[in-house]
A and B are shown apart, each in its own frame.
Chain A
């Protein structure tokens, strides 16, 4: 190719940056879209999973004889029906999917059965007799690492943990640079505070659901609601002891995931039941099971120490982050540690993380896992220091902000980044200058997230009429089908409406990593652009052959193959429809393809401003105004980008004010329903204003940075700062629920 306009940084676009209608809109509002629970098959059975009512208990006996004799029951499975000899994360997943000899948390799966109707399955489940022997439990992260705490799993330490710690501490992280003690010595003010956050659930409205059919030959089909069906394929094959390629997995439409549907919970159970019954098995989680047994975030306990001079320069920062990922070794404490101070260009920084096991469900990712709680702790201390020193909190952040070339708190030097631009946009936003009334407070905070690339394959198929289909392997959790079509339209030069993007099943495309790490618009987008370019190359070759000139003398522009100049020859531009109409006769179908593990996902920063009002008599908080400023690199479909910003803010409002896992003294979850697990409702919220900052990511042809996760990093901190400033008392524990705020006010008044 003589001219490759996409290798250079693009600045003008015909399609990217526009706001066309979403391709899945009509399907979703008319009910045509098929979600996890919408799949059916002839002869299908319905499954129920029995779960431990105890936080920690030996499973002494499971007697299924009465249930087996019950009407309609076709299969019952326990741990014995899954593969043995697994190790590593596959063993952990199996241990979570179906308990071995010990139930590790309230809601841990112990047994499952399938029957010809849901009613029969539910009735039969009541006939399974399970004998437990309760043993001591612990659910609090600090108590779980204290001397004398019951040990969840002996010998789970991965070798990184400092000597002398409780066996529940299973992994340790330390990073940073400089000399923090020397830095604190230079400070005019040093503040050290302890913070806690509770576990929250992603709160997707669609419960996990799947339909599995596996024959006794080990070959199977699975339809499920997931963020990553290749991962489901791999995990299910391992847990069932079959070959990966024997199982085809198709992802349904997804009613929310937010990271929580990156994990595997029920699919192997449906397949194991199906294999035993030789019938298709449908499994839909009741809401209470979703709360009790699918991954919430990790609860966190954190110590932050920051030194600052009178002019607002941070001289040193240190953080300790203790997180529990439940009864499994995987709390994202290193992400907490690495993200905590990443917004700031620091000479001296030290961060440590502890992964602590407890009797809670296996944690799962939730948008920027580990980062929001760390930001809450760090940005609260900064806010308090600005209050004490009489400094403007955004100006102090700007003064210390990480810039292109800064050495990140977690190690590398930043490439082109946009934190300063978000801070400047926030400082100049009318919201930041708006007056506040008595009883109201304003909070600000910054947030950081790495973003991710990951294994990616995309195919693009041209049709004879010059339209295109794109097969991607990343389930659409945030509007990616629209974004892929826009990016392909940009390359092909055909209308957005002429491109249909589908999520291919595992047998139709190469491996695709999960839709996580804000990677889809970046990585699948990059692959879509490259696949479209591949198709363009082939079309240029067809035109060159027709014209009898060298393919290098043909370039592509606005949907036409064109000779690259007078030396190439005088030919009329050839439209895509002309090329595709004859492609069968000129060399065969024209498809584009690209596969890679792109590693240029640009990191992302955001700055949030929140106004809150606190009722001093009841502790009730009202969010009055909210503005999100975030760097998108390049917003492909700005409406979806704004939706991601707003969604992050809203989930952050829930986490900051009312959402929490509440465990009773007996270690059972007290609020496993949306009634008492309080996500914000529409009437709780103001309009969330958004500002899209665009500092291009050099690692993407159009400059895209992922936007899905950064938006939930600043809210906990920004809201806690607003509430603390409104109430006049620092809230160091989230959620800052009305009882906690009222108690803090009472404590303050009592001196």
Chain B
């Protein structure tokens, strides 16, 4: 195994492009090292990207949005004084991952690139409209987060491409988001179903909405019909029922050790309603 610790993303991308066999990028390592120890994935090339300048920074942009370095940890996001005021749903999704110790290492970008449909950090990024900069052999491009996952354990990134920055849009006025997941216990578990809702209100009426489900399909799912069910409503019962129906219709889950198809589908609707109510309250100024 070759271990590299480059000082720029251009260098990291070149190392990856020139590498043979299995390549993994190492940020927090909470997936890569676990898979390595379990003999699940033994990389031929391991590229540590957290020595690159700026990868630990949380920066507020002039437009009110945020840029996150790819090695920013869950704990750094949760403890940031302003980030979770803007995006409580996005931050709480990340905060649900693992234990306190894991939170000191785990990163949002790693959670995205691990490619798990059950990733708790990803639905909140999708509903927030987060984009990422992808550095590759031909330079940089910017992609929406929902275009990254390709299926369990897979991404759309090509050989030699690496995510080099995370961009969160400005929250703006009267916006709120929320993430809920279902687990049989209270913590230290993997989502059986996850759901994030982000919306904006004009008075009582919802003017913008995004709904994303996790763990109910091969990738996280941005559910357009669920958003349509919310927009224009004041989150009345009819809108909530339409939201739940749209969420259930978007499910394409599997039966496995964590849940059945019926259970996941049913609970997706339940969580969508509950998350929408929290996001709606937050958009109205509730903490």
User: Could you tell me which A residues sit within 8 Å of B by CB distance?
Assistant: 122, 288, 617-620, 657-658, 662, 670-671, 675-676, 678, 680-681, 683-684, 737-739, 742-743, 746
A391 to B70, CA, bound (A): 63
Decide if B270 touches A617 in the complex (CB within 8 Å): yes
Known: A122-B39, A670-B257. A678 touches B262 (CB 8 A): no
> Which of the 9-residue segments B52-60, B153-161, B183-191, B229-237 touches chain A?
B183-191
Complex contact A676–B257 (CB within 8 A): yes
Interfacial chain B residues near A684, Cβ < 8 Å: 185-186
B259 contacts the other chain (CB 8 A):
yes
Report the nearest A residue to B266, measured CB to CB.
Answer: A742
A681 adjacent to B186 (CB under 8 Å): yes
A678: which of B38, B189, B260, B263 is its contact (CB, 8 Å)? B189
Chain A residues positioned under 8 Å from B267 (CB to CB): 617-618, 742
Give Cα A671 to B190, complex, Å: 13
B256 interface residue, CB < 8 Å from A?
yes
- In contact, A683 and B187 (Cβ under 8 angstroms): yes
Instruction: Please provide the 7 A-B residue pairs with the shortest distance between their CB atoms, ordered closest to farther.
Output: A739-B263, A683-B186, A670-B257, A617-B270, A662-B257, A658-B184, A671-B257
* Known contacts A122-B39, A743-B262, A743-B263; A620 and B184 CB within 8 A of each other: yes
- On whether A618 and B257 interact (CB within 8 A), knowing A681-B186, A737-B184, A743-B263, the answer reads no
How far is the CB of A612 from the nearest CB of chain B, in Å? 14
Tell me, in angstroms, the Cα distance from A472 to B263 when the chains sit together: 52
Minimum distance in angstroms from B265 CB to a CB of chain A: 11
Whether the Cβ atoms of B182 and A620 lie closer than 8 Å is yes
* B254 CB, nearest partner CB in chain A, Å: 12
> Closest CB-CB distance, A177 to chain B, in whole Å?
42
Decide if B80 is an interface residue (CB 8 Å cutoff): no
In the assembled complex, how far is the CB of residue A51 from the closest CB belonging to chain B, in whole angstroms? Answer: 13
Q: Which residue of B lies closest to A677 (CB)?
A: B257
- B258 CB-CB contact with A under 8 Å: yes
Bound form: Cα–Cα A657–B186 in Å: 13
Tell me if A738 and B187 are in contact (CB < 8 A). Answer: no
Q: Is the CB of A739 within 8 A of B259?
A: yes
Of all chain A residues, which has the CB nearest B39?
A: A122
Q: In the complex, which range does the number of interface residues on chain B fall in?
A: 20 to 34
14 new A-B contacts, CB < 8 A, other than A681-B187, A683-B185, are: A122-B39, A617-B270, A618-B182, A662-B257, A675-B190, A680-B185, A681-B186, A738-B192, A739-B259, A739-B260, A739-B263, A742-B262, A743-B260, A743-B263
> Smallest CB–CB gap between B270 and chain A, Å?
5
Chain B residues with CB below 8 A from A675, complex form: 189-190
Q: How far is the CA of A619 from the CA of B267 in the complex (A)?
A: 9
Q: Give residues in B with beta carbon < 8 Å to A.
A: 38-39, 182, 184-190, 192, 256-260, 262-263, 266-267, 270
From known contacts A670-B256, A743-B262, A743-B263, infer whether A678 and B185 are also in contact, taking CB-CB under 8 Å.
yes
Quick check: B184 and A678 within 8 Å, CB to CB? Answer: yes
Please give the distance in Å from B194's CB to the nearest CB on chain A. 13
Interface centre among B257, B267, B270 (most CB of A within 10 A): B257
Which chain A residues border B256 with CB–CB below 8 Å? 670
> Which chain A residues lie closer than 8 Å to B187 at the CB level?
681, 683
CA of A657 to CA of B185 in the docked complex: distance in angstroms? 9
Tell me the minimal C-beta distance from A672 to chain B in angstroms: 10
Give the residues in chain A near B190, CB-CB below 8 Å: 675-676
A208: shortest Cβ distance to chain B, in Å?
Answer: 18
Residues of B within 8 A of A658 (CB): 184-185
Q: Nearest-CB distance from A517 to chain B (Å)?
A: 31
Point out the residues of chain A lying under 8 angstroms from B186, CB to CB. Answer: 681, 683-684
Residues of A within 8 A of B259 (CB): 738-739
Complex: A737 Cα to B267 Cα, angstroms: 14
Q: In chain B, what residue has the closest Cβ to A621? A: B184
**B263 and A657 contact, CB distance less than 8 A:** no
B270 A738 Cβ-Cβ under 8 A = no
Asked if A681 meets B263 with Cβ closer than 8 Å, knowing A618-B270, A662-B257, the reply is: no
A738 near B182: Cβ-Cβ < 8 Å: yes
Whole-angstrom distance between the Cβ of B35 and the nearest chain A Cβ: 12
**Quick one: closest A residue to B271, CB to CB?**
A618
Residue of B nearest to A286 (CB): B38
18 A-B pairs, CB-CB below 8 angstroms? A618-B182, A618-B267, A619-B263, A620-B182, A620-B184, A657-B184, A658-B184, A670-B256, A671-B257, A675-B189, A681-B185, A681-B188, A683-B185, A684-B185, A738-B259, A742-B262, A743-B262, A746-B262
Residue of B nearest to A664 (CB): B257
CA of A670 to CA of B189 in the docked complex: distance in angstroms? 16
Residues of B within 8 A of A671 (CB): 257
* Closest CB in chain A relative to B122 CB, distance in Å: 18
Residues of B within 8 A of A662 (CB): 257
Taking CB atoms, residues of chain B closer than 8 Å to A683 are 185-187
**Could you tell me the distance in whole angstroms from the C-beta of A660 to the nearest C-beta in chain B?**
9
Chain B contacts for A619, CB-based, 8 A: 263
Closest Cβ of chain A to B178, distance in Å, is 16
Contact between A738 and B263 (Cβ–Cβ < 8 Å)?
A: yes
A681 — which chain B residues lie within 8 A by C-beta?
185-188
From A617, A662, A739, A742, name the one whose CB has the most chain B CB atoms within 10 angstroms.
A739
Give the complex CA separation of A746 and B263 in angstroms.
Answer: 11
**Cα separation A617 to B244 with both chains bound (whole Å):** 12
Given A618-B270, A662-B257, A678-B189 in contact, is the A742-B184 Cβ separation under 8 Å?
no
Question: What's the Cα separation between A670 and B259 when bound, in Å?
Answer: 12
Q: How far is the CA of A670 from the CA of B192 in the complex (A)?
A: 15
Could you say which of A288, A617, A738, A743 contacts B184, with CB atoms under 8 Å apart? Answer: A738
Chain A residue with Cβ nearest B188: A681
The CA-CA distance from A617 to B269 in the complex, in Å, is 10
Q: When chains A and B are docked, how far (Å) is the Cα of A658 from the Cα of B257? A: 11
| Whole-angstrom CA separation of A739 from B264 in the bound complex | 9
CB-nearest residue of chain B to A615? B270
Q: Shortest beta-carbon distance, B210 to chain A, in Å? A: 23
In the bound assembly, the distance between CA atoms of A671 and B266 in angstroms comes to: 24
Cα of A617 to Cα of B267 in the assembled complex, Å: 7
- Report A474 CB to chain B, min CB distance, Å: 33
Shortest distance from the beta carbon of B248 to any chain A beta carbon, whole Å? 13
Give the CA-CA distance A122 to B39 in the complex, in Å: 9
Q: How far is the CB of B102 from chain A (nearest CB, A)?
A: 12
Least CB distance from A501 to B in Å reads 35
CA distance A671 to B189 in the complex (A): 13
Q: How far is the CA of A743 from the CA of B185 in the complex (A)?
A: 18
User: Given A681-B187, A684-B185, A684-B186, are A742 and B263 neighbors across the interface (CB < 8 Å)?
Assistant: yes
